[in-house]
Amino acid sequence: MRKETIIWHVLLLLVWCSRTAAQQNFVLLEANETESERITKAARVVPAPRQLRWQQLELTAFFHFGINTFTNREWGDGKENPALFNPTAFDATQWMAAAKAAGIKQVILTAKHHDGFCLWPSKYTKHSVAASPWQNGKGDVVKEVAKAAKDAGLGFGVYLSPWDRNSPLYGTEAYNEYFANQLTELLTQYGRIDEVWFDGANGEGPNGKKQVYDFNRWYALIRKLQPQAVIAIMGPDVRWVGTETGHGRETEWSVVPANHMDEATVAALSQQDLAFKPMGDMMGTDLGSRAKIADARALVWYPAETDVSIRPGWFYHAEEDDKVKTAVQLLDIYFNSVGRNGVLLINLPPDKRGRLHENDVAILKAWKKTRDSIFHQNLAKLAGTNIPSANILFDGNDATDIPFSEKDSTIIPLDFASPVTCNVLAMQENIRHGQRIEAFVLQYEHNNTWHTVASGSTVGYKRLVSFKTVRATQFRIIITQARDTIHLAEMGLYFNPMPTP
């Protein structure tokens, strides 16, 4: 072999090694792999940096605001008179103050809903705020909301509905261009965009045809213009949890099969992470178990977002002023969304004034107060344990962890000097290494016998479990099954003074 050829081969080998060793948010599986090889691969799929940042937010909010706010509808037909859009006391800083007080870290505005009415003066349509009396047609809701979010230190995202019941182009190829143009306006005129939210609704256009959405083109545009933004729901980065109840799955794997991926699609990727929507069953009760992995051709990090409205509707309706969810209901949603390895996206619809209603603002405050009353003190910190550097588990930092290499029975003892009363267990994995825990139990000691008081399957970024109130001096957590070395970042025992039944 010539010297150049040898060097060339060595270089290729180095590139190959760095690609296989580098942790990625997807992996291909080979048909002849054993179950244990497949599970190890699954355990080593990690979030892309934009997915990790998004997961750490925990709480995000939607603002559904637009022409529907003024017509008192949930879905507009695109024929509304833009003159109807006229908030009397628009104040995006009030929205942010209420969101921030609730601990929300990022907000998403419905820049365009299915009615096609644009909350910014898009130069590609007349159906926008520019045709409204609000601020004499000189206003720009996207601009004001983006600025208020930035000033409050919150992330900012946009909802741009692919379904557009106003555009005469809808149902033709030209609509894809129209949509790309609007997306470009949003991605270039308002500073940093952290999330782009695409809904799947797809009705018929004026020609009776359904639009074939050119999602891949839009993804490429977002990656180019705002590479840090996650693309949610009809997108590659964030999966819809599958309900609008605020409750995620009991077992929630962030690593799921993506069976249309093959060598060719992976080779075509220009980046080390995905830019197309993973396909497969994303709606069932079991998405990522061992059984699912056994049949999979590829796996991808595709975490769940749990969206729910604080009111029955997505848009504001005065008749729902007394139907705002209570702080107790929101606490239950928190446990079943954030506490089930998801990110909560709670909808807060501003009213006709352009403000969040007083009832919603009060509930948001009460919800935060309730969470604080539980999570202000991690009782586990008071425990003695035989684990070296155990303080890492209580430092509130999800990036530091204690590795446990025993996959089938890791025991974490918590011995207290005097009895503690608790009814909430919290655990977090350092997902920078992947998601690995498959089963765990919490036990307490009474009369020389260990009693199981809580159990669960997946942990992932965060798991919260409520259990009957227990008073004891000795507890232990046993991780009974895991896919690989466990990287436990946080663990906690808490007391909820007002437990829900």
The answer to whether the beta carbons of residues 332 and 296 sit under 8 Å apart is no
Distance between CA 341 and CA 302 in Å, rounded? 12
Q: Helix (H, G, I), strand (E, B), or coil: what is residue 44?
A: coil
Nearest residue (CB) to ligand FUL, 157 versus 460: 157
Nearest residue (CB) to ligand FUL, 215 versus 314: 314
Nearest residue (CB) to ligand FUL, 159 versus 175: 159
Least separation in angstroms between residue 375's CB and ligand FUL is 28
CA distances from 457 to 286, 304, 464 (A): 12, 16, 11
Nearest residue (CB) to ligand FUL, 63 versus 218: 63
Q: CA triplet 236, 345, 353: central angle to 5 degrees? A: 125
User: Which residues contact ligand FUL (rule: CB under 6 A)?
Assistant: 74, 199, 201, 307, 314
In one-letter notation, the amino acid at residue 218 is W
Least separation in angstroms between residue 199's CB and ligand FUL is 4
Nearest residue (CB) to ligand FUL, 48 versus 345: 345
CA distances from 105 to 47, 48, 203, 298 (A): 19, 19, 33, 32
Least separation in angstroms between residue 314's CB and ligand FUL is 4
Q: How many helices and strands (H and E) does the chain possess?
A: 12, 17
Nearest residue (CB) to ligand FUL, 232 versus 390: 232
Residue written as token pair 């009213």: 351
Q: What is the DSSP string of 68-111?
A: HHHHT-SS--S---GGG---SS--HHHHHHHHHHTT--EEEEEE
Residue 432's H or E segment, with its range, is none
Nearest residue (CB) to ligand FUL, 89 versus 283: 283
Longest C-alpha distance within the chain, in Å? 81
The answer to whether the beta carbons of residues 492 and 394 sit under 8 Å apart is yes
| Strand-pair partners of 304 | 239, 342
| Strand-pair partners of 454 | 442
Nearest residue (CB) to ligand FUL, 119 versus 489: 119
Least separation in angstroms between residue 58's CB and ligand FUL is 19
Distance between CA 109 and CA 184 in Å, rounded? 16
Q: CA triplet 223, 228, 233: central angle to 5 degrees? A: 75
Q: What backbone phi and psi angles, to 5 degrees, belong to 416? A: -100, 150
The answer to whether the beta carbons of residues 28 and 262 sit under 8 Å apart is yes
Laid out side by side, the sheet with 195-198 consists of 230-233, 195-198, 155-160, 106-112, 59-63, 342-347, 304-309, 239-240
Least separation in angstroms between residue 363's CB and ligand FUL is 20
Residue written as token pair 């503690």: 420
Nearest residue (CB) to ligand FUL, 106 versus 466: 106
Nearest residue (CB) to ligand FUL, 66 versus 257: 66
